Amino acid sequence: MARYLADHPIEHVYVSPQLRAQQTASPLIDTLSVPHTTVDGVAEYDLGHSMYIPGEEYGPMTAEDLDELIEGLTGDAFQSRVLESMDLIINENPGRTVAVVCHGGVISTLVADILGTDPRNYFDTSYTSVTRVRASRSGRRSLASFNECHWLRDLD
């Protein structure tokens, strides 16, 4: 991802405080040599949990586990936190290109908001993928691309 974005005019990187996002952002920040800011509001729903279990490693889930996961990803508090944080980032950067290194639930929330769909319809993303959002000064947002990850094909 860092190599792919190296030639893009990114002026600032915003990153979730969670370790997995910080580790993803590090090569990008080093490659671009741009300032970066940690933003709690773009953390995944599991911020503060004692451990992280990737979705593909969950294994069998009880109905209660699944309800908790769905509520975490689509609950009003999470949705509000994510969208308010994205609004702040966008408003702080008129006319600029920035990167936000975050998580699947955050991306899904933003995409659902842009498309006007039910946030319970989760948009799945690949690790280190790129989703591009265009934002005008008037507040209009559009989805320019979703889940770009062609560089992952070269990894074995």
The pLDDT tens digits of the residues spanning 74-96 come to: 788 999 999 999 999 999 999 99
Q: Where are the strands (E) in 2-148, listed by range?
A: 10-15, 36-38, 97-101, 130-135, 141-148
What average pLDDT does range 83-112 have in this prediction? 95
Radius of gyration of the chain (CA): 16
Q: What are phi and psi of 62, to 5 degrees?
A: -75, 165
The pLDDT tens digits of the residues spanning 9-48 come to: 999 999 999 999 999 999 999 999 999 999 999 999 877 6
Higher-confidence position of 134 and 122: 134
Residues 6 or more apart in contact with residue 57 via CB below 8 angstroms: none
Break the chain into its structural domains and give their ranges: 2-151
pTM for the predicted model, two decimal places: 0.87
As a whole-number percent, the residues of the chain with pLDDT over 70 amount to 90
Domain at 2-151: CATH code: 3.40.50.1240
C-alpha count within 13 angstroms, C-beta hemisphere, residue 19: 6
